[in-house]
Every structure is written in C-alpha cells, then in structure tokens.
Structure 1
Amino acid sequence: MPQKSLLPIPVLVAFVLLLTLVDALIAKFMVFISPASTGVSSLYLSVAFMIVFTLWFGMGGAFAAYWGCFIGAGLLGGVPAGVNLYWSIGDLLQVLIPLIAFQLLHADISLQTWRDARIFLVFGVLVNNITGALWGVGTLYLSGLITGAAAPATAISWFTGNALITLLIAPLLLHLLTPSIRTSELYVGGTWFGRPL
C-alpha cells in the first residue's frame, strides 16, 4: 500500500486549531447548561467528540482535547489558570487511553467486530472516564476548589455523564463515519500526522 503524503505543517496547525475551537465551544456550552462543579459538567458532550477526533486524527486530536478543555471548561468555566494546566490533563488521559489501547490491541476503530466494540467499551468508556474523573476531581480537591465532602459526588457525576455521552455518541460516529474519514488526507490512524508515534 503506498504511503500517504504528509500535509503541509500550516494545514495541520490550522486543523488542530479548528478541532480545539470545536472542543472548547462544546465544553463551555456543556459546563454552562449542566454544571456539576467548577469547570465540570454532568453531561460533557465534548468528551465523545474528543475521543473520536483522537482516534481519527492521532495526537492532533489529543492536543485539541487538552487545549479545548483548558479553554472551554477551564478558563471559561472558572478554573484558575495555574490549576487548569494540570486539571486539563484529565481530558488528555480520557482520549489517550483509548488511542493507546486500540494501537496495542490492534483493534479497528470502526468497531467492525464484537472484540473491537468490547475494547472500546473497556478503554473508551470505562477506564478512560474513570481515570479522567479521578484525575480531574482530585486536582480540584487538592487545589481547594471543591471540598472533600463534594469530591465523591463530583467524581460520580463526571464519570457517569462522560460514560453515558461517550457510549451514546462515539460508537455511532466511529462505526458510521470512520470508513469515510479514512479516505481523508487528515486521517492518521495511530500516527502523528502520518509519522509513526
């Protein structure tokens, strides 16, 4: 199979900025309409798109997930900038875990088999969202933005909302749109913009 030609760096940068803007706008909107705590939404619609973008666009999607959270949920959601720098790592973890799992387990992101679907369920819905919730709520607690009494409820809200949104949206996008996205020059399939990770 011939190797795909690499897109020019300005095109790639513009694309990552576009993904970041999409993530930030969705994150801010969801934190505004369904707040659970400072910067936390009980229905964080952005997470499903961040996971899908990362599975399609590799580390470009992951960068967009981090910075989209940093801007949309963090800065615009009232998380102080110093805390936001490490708090937003929660969203980064939520997208990197499924990306790494799909690569290591040689699964197909278009979820063509039950094995692919189970891998997505474990690493794209459960493990990643538990990790993100624990990281995010832990950083909010350690920085004094939420109390110890509020931390468990916030973590449960973060996890259940993210898991539900991810389960309802991401598999449909991956199954239905991945075959078309794979024909795009922007699709990287487990690489850093066409370069191996």
Structure 2
Amino acid sequence: MSTQVVTREQDSVWELEAGEVRKSGLGHFVMMALFTGVGVVVGTFGSIAVPLGFVSAFWPGQAIQAVGSIWYGMWGGIASFVFPIISNAISGSAPLPVSLAYIPGNLAQGIIAGWAFRTFGADPRLLTPKDWVAFTFWGIIVSNIIGAGWGSTVLRTFDLITPAAHLPVFFGWFVGNAVASWILGVIMLKFVSPIVIKSKTFCKKYWA
C-alpha cells in the first residue's frame, strides 16, 4: 500500500493536475536571482576555502546548479552559469574571458539534473532508489564529468595549464565538485524539496 502511495505522489510532482495552468512570472525571476546570490556565496567560499590552482578541492557550488534546475527548470539553469562569473571575479579564481568560456560547462552542470528528473520521473524529495540514482548519476557524475572536461579544456585552450596537467586538473575538478555537491545537494533535496514542490514557483516543466 505504501509503495502505491509513493508512486502516485511521484507522478503528481511533474504532472499537471486537471485544470492546472502554470505560467512564468515574477516569482520565477526572484528565485533565479536568489539562487544566483546563494550560488555566489557558496561558490566563492568553495573557491577560496580549498584552492588548487585554477580548481578547488571542495566546490559545493555545483549543488546549487543542479538543485536549482531540478526545482526551477531553466530559471535555475540561467542562475547556474551566471553566478560562477560573479563568484570567479570575487575570488579571483579565473579572469573574465575564462569565466565566459566556462558558460557551456556550467550550464550543463545545472540543466542535466533538471532534465533527468523530469525525463525519468524522479522525485526531488529522494523517496526511492530511482530518485537517488537520478541525482547521483545524472546530477553529480555525468554533470561533473562534462563540467570538468569542459573546464579543464578551457584552461588548456587559454594556456593556463600545460598538456601534462590537463588530466590531473580534470580529475581534481571532478572530485572537488562531485563530493562536496553530492553532500550539499542531498541535504537540500531531502529537507527543502517538500516545501519547494508545494510552491507556485516550482517548475513542473522547464519554465513554469
């Protein structure tokens, strides 16, 4: 009986109820701005706390990117590439041209989790093993492989690292993002998702 209840709850998270109409509005813009601000704080802290050259050994900012996209769709996706630009400027971890070149990787680190949860019907509250797999595999592992691959390639393109350092930087970037972001992301999803999914700003689709 309990399994059936969970299944119905999961289905209702992303499906519109009869007669329900959801539209983008000021609230979504506010949440995008809020996540940008939170991301700046978390990202800057991670960049300053445990720096390893152009990467950080503990960067929980990717959790803000992934969770933002899960809760707020493309609004979270926009925040996911905006806040690192500001964070990098504050921490001095990357010059502006490099931060701008990071945008595709940061966008991927955000929207992949949101895409996976909507595509596979995973619940942001992490109620079942499927939900945990969706977040861990898509939101953390896949997202950070792409992000670390893109970011380390950008550094190599700008001649900020040597060819010999490319692979170590990639692994350092991946581990530094993945471990910290999995911990923070799980906490956010488990304890805050029950509140967020009841709000008008929660995006069942990508924009509303």
* TM-score bracket, shorter-length normalisation: 0.7 to 0.9
Secondary structure of 1:150 counterpart: helix
Sequence identity (%): 28
**TM, length-normalised to structure 1:** 0.87
TM-superposed CA distance for 1:164, in Å, is 0.8
Distance 1:75 1:86 in 2: 17
TM-superposed CA distance for 1:63, in Å, is 0.8
Contact 1:16 1:60 in 2 (8 A): yes
Contact 2:140 2:182 in 1 (8 A): yes
Distance 2:152 2:89 in 1: 13
Distance 1:156 1:114 in 2: 27
Judged with a 3 Å threshold, the aligned counterparts in structure 2 of structure 1 residues 75 and 134 are, in CA distance, closer, same or farther, namely farther
Aligned residues: 191
Encode CA deviations 1:20-56: one digit per residue, 9 max, x unaligned. Answer: 1211122122111111222x21111111122112111
Contact 1:107 1:119 in 2 (8 A): yes
Distance 1:179 1:18 in 2: 19
Judged with a 3 Å threshold, the aligned counterparts in structure 2 of structure 1 residues 114 and 91 are, in CA distance, closer, same or farther, namely same
Judged with a 3 Å threshold, the aligned counterparts in structure 2 of structure 1 residues 27 and 21 are, in CA distance, closer, same or farther, namely same
1:100 lines up with 2:102 in the alignment: no
Distance 2:25 2:136 in 1: 35
Contact 1:7 1:185 in 2 (8 A): no
Secondary structure of 2:52 counterpart: strand
Whose radius of gyration is greater, 1 or 2? 2
User: Aligned letter for 1:159?
Assistant: F
Partner of 1:178: 193
RMSD: 1.9
Flag the structure with higher helix content.
Answer: 2
Secondary structure of 2:164 counterpart: coil
Partner of 1:13: 29
Partner of 1:46: 61
User: Aligned letter for 2:119?
Assistant: L
Residue number among 133, 137, 140 corresponding to 1:118 in the alignment: 133
TM-superposed CA distance for 1:5, in Å, is 5.0
Distance 2:193 2:147 in 1: 25
Q: Which structure 1 residue ranges, 4+ long, deviate > 4 Å from structure 2?
A: none
Distance 1:76 1:3 in 2: 44
Distance 1:3 1:147 in 2: 55
Distance 2:21 2:193 in 1: 17
Partner of 1:60: 75
Encode CA deviations 1:44-81: one digit per residue, 9 max, x unaligned. Answer: 11111221121111111111110111110256434232
Judged with a 3 Å threshold, the aligned counterparts in structure 2 of structure 1 residues 12 and 125 are, in CA distance, closer, same or farther, namely closer
Residue number among 9, 20, 23 corresponding to 2:39 in the alignment: 23
Residue number among 120, 134, 158 corresponding to 1:143 in the alignment: 158
